[in-house]
Structure 1
Amino acid sequence: MKIRSITRWIAAAAIFLASCVPVSAESGQQIPELHTHAQAAALMDVTSGRLLYSSHGDDQLRIASLTKIMTAIVAIEHGDFNRPVKVSKNAFGKEGSSIYLKLGEEMTLENMLYGLMLRSGNDAATAIAEHVGGSEEGFVHLMNEKAQELGLQHSHFANPSGLDANGHYSSANDMAKLTAYALHNPLFHDIVKTQVKKAPNPNESWDYRWDNKNKMLRLYEGADGVKTGYTKKAFRCLVSSATRNGQQLVAVTLNDGDDWNDHAKMLDYGFKYFPLSQLMEKGESVQGYDLVVANTFKYPFADGEKERLEKKLVLFSPAREKAQDVNFGLRGEIRMVLDGKQIGTVPVYQKGSYLPEPNPRNPVKDALAPIHPSTLAGALSKVFKQLFLQQN
């Protein structure tokens, strides 16, 4: 009986430790365990979307003002930057952190997004939601629609600010995925890395001045985002990002009393043990074929993993080419497979073909299998989308 109890204890301990170790395949180098003080944590490479570390990463928890990451990206993608945002009575009286907007005050959406992300203004969050969604409820619908689109299976939003509410939650893994997606947007990236922002103040003789609450921007070399959060029920929450040697990482902790130190430790860990490597470069010839690759492809590898990578060339059949109206030289794709799992694909073109300028790689969006931009359908889709956005 005693031996059986010990065996059960060892098995339980192994399961617990498995939830706290890095998400990686076996490698030639022993990667040390990473521990934080967080209730849940995640670390992700932005370029590839690879999850490098996760501890209780799918637990559904309160996220406080980390919510505003979703608020910002939805506003950027749906907002009308030509119309000023007007502060309603509902926005003016919003509880919690504030940038002290006045009732009836008007401000550009862009400036209000800075107030939202740097100072975590709940008044700004409400004003933005009403401006973009027509109402808070309408905007929350867009937030949940975006969460579904991005495959955030452990997230649901009830408001744009992050105030504690029933049915308002996310997970460390989902927040890492959402932030990696958002950081591919140039405006979002510029906002969250800004340490100080000034904006016109129509009510006073001086400008607004917003100092970023995210101390990581000052404490950690290469830090370039993202958002702090706190409520009495969620406790301290933080999403940070940093870029070194061309590699950007996102770290997430939920309910962490030592988050500044934990984030520095997590980011150091990612840069050291999962450096970003370039696998192929746009225009590079495919050995043995009259083909070239269309995109540069990079991926973070632990020591020993790159040697196990398989590159599989898949050529499209003439029937498929005809069906997809591929008339710009697209001939197939190279699939990158690591330990039996496909980690990415790169289109290949007939040598001498025009290689379309791809949109910046967004691993979260790529997972949605978008229409390839070089096809006629892809071109038409892009045109219609642009026309629609210009009219709304």
Structure 2
Amino acid sequence: MRKQLAALGVLCALLPGLVLHTQAAEAPAVSAASAVLMDGETGRVLYAKDENTPRAIASTTKLMTALVAAEYLGGDLSRQVEIQREWTGIEGTSLYLVPGETLSLKTLFYGLLLPSGNDAAVALACVCAGDVDTFVGWMNQRAQDLGMTHTHFSDPNGLGDENHYASALDMAKLGRACLQNPTVAEAVATKSLTLEDRQLVNHNKLLWQYEGCTGMKTGYTRQAGRTLVSSAERDGQTLICVTLSDRNDWADHKALLDYGFSVYPRTVLAQAGEELGRVPLEGSLLHMAAAEARETVAYPLQEGERVTVQVDLPDAVQAPVVQGEIAGTARFLVNGQVVGETYLVWSSSANRDVVDRKGLGDLWDFLQGEEAPTFAQALELLEP
């Protein structure tokens, strides 16, 4: 077999970048009916409370509206559109659109996410899909694509009926997808701006109150209560927090984010360029070929978690080898589950420069002849 196993908790020298942290803390008690804390890079759930129960989500719905619109528009928000009467007069929070006025898609997009305009949601849906129902169909399809198995949308703004819901875990998956979309990520992180004579202020107080907050979305209806999706970054680690039906959401998000950063810090399992194995090299003056990680692999680890690495390399390799070419793979496991992987590539090139037995025999025969060979003739005989 070509596979080797090493317990990193014991053999840390194999991966010098690995540090097993010893900080520990109890998970905070939160007042939310449902809550999830997720690592944004890996999707690991760090905290969960009733995470799969479908609940009303209010205006956090608009994260999906924004994601679908941004993907449909390709991130281009420069186009001007004329506001139609049927897009106006929507109940609840509003961008106060006026029939006949002309606004950019950027104003509608930021008006959707910062002041949470319900009319902006309808306008974007109709601009993209032609009508609200078609756009909502796109939202539900995107939810399926993201593995949001306890979610259904019935409108683009969250005012919906009993058929409009999502679980906390599903909303964390959505939040992760939003952060991976540059257009959405930039908008949800914006505290305020003025567009076309409209002053837009983000309802997310954590942008001012929590160091490292990178945004996301608030929501409230009488049916849903207070809902909140937030994200924050610290020391290269991004966390996503979701609470549904939470009367104390600002404090709960701060506590959960602090908990995640302290108890599950981002731990580098392998750095790009770090040597992870060597194999015998045949046909070269070099005896071994080194293989290194092509990408950095990291994972949030808590105290005492045991990591193993599974290295898959050939038993031996024939020269020549070329630097950067794929040599094998390395997989990292926690509790038997693969949590990261990277290709292994050759650290350096090696030419084939060892003479085979036939070449040596031919040279010996030539040397025994009446005329000594020239230097060029000898080299020709020795060529692999």
TM-score by length of structure 2 reads: 0.76
Question: What is the distance in 2 between the residues matched to 1:191 and 1:113?
Answer: 8
Q: Measure how far apart 1:284 and its partner are.
A: 2.5
Residue 117 of structure 1 is matched in structure 2 by: 113
Residue 300 of structure 2 is matched in structure 1 by: 300
Residue 268 of structure 1 is matched in structure 2 by: 258
Question: What is the distance in 2 between the residues matched to 1:232 and 1:242?
Answer: 28
166-175 vs 82-91, which deviates more?
82-91
- Contact 2:27–2:259 (CA<8 Å) still a contact in 1? no
Residue 235 of structure 1 is matched in structure 2 by: 225
Note the aligned Cα RMSD (angstroms): 2.0
Aligned residues: 309
Secondary structure, counterpart of 1:270 in structure 2: helix
Secondary structure, counterpart of 1:278 in structure 2: strand
Residue 285 of structure 2 is matched in structure 1 by: none
Question: What is the distance in 1 between the residues matched to 2:57 and 2:272?
Answer: 39
1:94/1:280 CA distance change after superposition, 3 Å: same
Question: What is the distance in 1 between the residues matched to 2:102 and 2:172?
Answer: 33
Question: What is the distance in 2 between the residues matched to 1:98 and 1:189?
Answer: 22
Residue 274 of structure 2 is matched in structure 1 by: 284
Question: What is the distance in 2 between the residues matched to 1:352 and 1:156?
Answer: 52
Write the deviation string for residues 227-266 of structure 1: whole angstroms up to 9, x where unpaired: 1000110111011111122211111110111111111111
Question: What is the distance in 2 between the residues matched to 1:112 and 1:158?
Answer: 20
Question: What is the distance in 1 between the residues matched to 2:45 and 2:55?
Answer: 19
Write the deviation string for residues 41-99 of structure 1: whole angstroms up to 9, x where unpaired: 01011111110000000000000000011111111111162533432222112221101
2:258 aligned partner, one-letter code: D
Is 1:140 the equivalent of 2:130? no
* Structure with a larger share of its residues in helix: 1
Q: Measure how far apart 1:215 and its partner are.
A: 0.7
Q: Measure how far apart 1:316 and its partner are.
A: 9.1
- Contact 2:97–2:119 (CA<8 Å) still a contact in 1? yes
1:350/1:141 CA distance change after superposition, 3 Å: farther
1:178/1:315 CA distance change after superposition, 3 Å: farther
- Contact 2:309–2:332 (CA<8 Å) still a contact in 1? yes
Is 1:225 the equivalent of 2:215? yes
Structure 2 residue runs without a partner (length 5+): 1-20, 280-289, 316-323, 350-384
The 5 Å alignment of 1:60-71 reads 60-71=54-65
1:218/1:255 CA distance change after superposition, 3 Å: same
Q: Measure how far apart 1:351 and its partner are.
A: 3.6
Residue 310 of structure 1 is matched in structure 2 by: 308
Residue 83 of structure 1 is matched in structure 2 by: 79
1:51 aligned partner, one-letter code: V
Question: What is the distance in 1 between the residues matched to 2:174 and 2:300?
Answer: 19
1:76 aligned partner, one-letter code: A
Secondary structure, counterpart of 1:267 in structure 2: helix
Residue 105 of structure 1 is matched in structure 2 by: 101
Q: Measure how far apart 1:315 and its partner are.
A: 5.0
- Contact 2:27–2:256 (CA<8 Å) still a contact in 1? no
Is 1:35 the equivalent of 2:25? no
1:303 aligned partner, one-letter code: E
Q: Measure how far apart 1:28 and its partner are.
A: 7.0
Structure 1 residue runs without a partner (length 5+): 1-26, 201-206, 318-327, 354-392
- Contact 2:83–2:98 (CA<8 Å) still a contact in 1? yes
Question: What is the distance in 2 between the residues matched to 1:315 and 1:126?
Answer: 55
Question: What is the distance in 1 between the residues matched to 2:65 and 2:245?
Answer: 21
Secondary structure, counterpart of 1:97 in structure 2: coil
Question: What is the distance in 2 between the residues matched to 1:256 and 1:316?
Answer: 54
Q: Which runs of 4+ in 1 moved over 6 A?
A: none
2:139 aligned partner, one-letter code: M
1:254/1:329 CA distance change after superposition, 3 Å: same
Residue 184 of structure 1 is matched in structure 2 by: 180
Question: What is the distance in 1 between the residues matched to 2:24 and 2:254?
Answer: 21
TM-score by length of structure 1 reads: 0.75
Write the deviation string for residues 324-351 of structure 1: whole angstroms up to 9, x where unpaired: xxxx833432111101111122122344
Residue 243 of structure 2 is matched in structure 1 by: 253
Residue 206 of structure 2 is matched in structure 1 by: 216
Residue 40 of structure 2 is matched in structure 1 by: 46
Question: What is the distance in 1 between the residues matched to 2:313 and 2:127?
Answer: 48
102-111 vs 159-168, which deviates more?
102-111
Aligned counterpart for 1:158 among listed residues 154, 159, 171: 154
Question: What is the distance in 2 between the residues matched to 1:49 and 1:260?
Answer: 23
Write the deviation string for residues 83-140 of structure 1: whole angstroms up to 9, x where unpaired: 3343222211222110111113332223321111101001110111111122111111
Is 1:341 the equivalent of 2:331? no
1:315/1:77 CA distance change after superposition, 3 Å: farther
1:89 aligned partner, one-letter code: R
Residue 374 of structure 2 is matched in structure 1 by: none
1:100/1:278 CA distance change after superposition, 3 Å: same
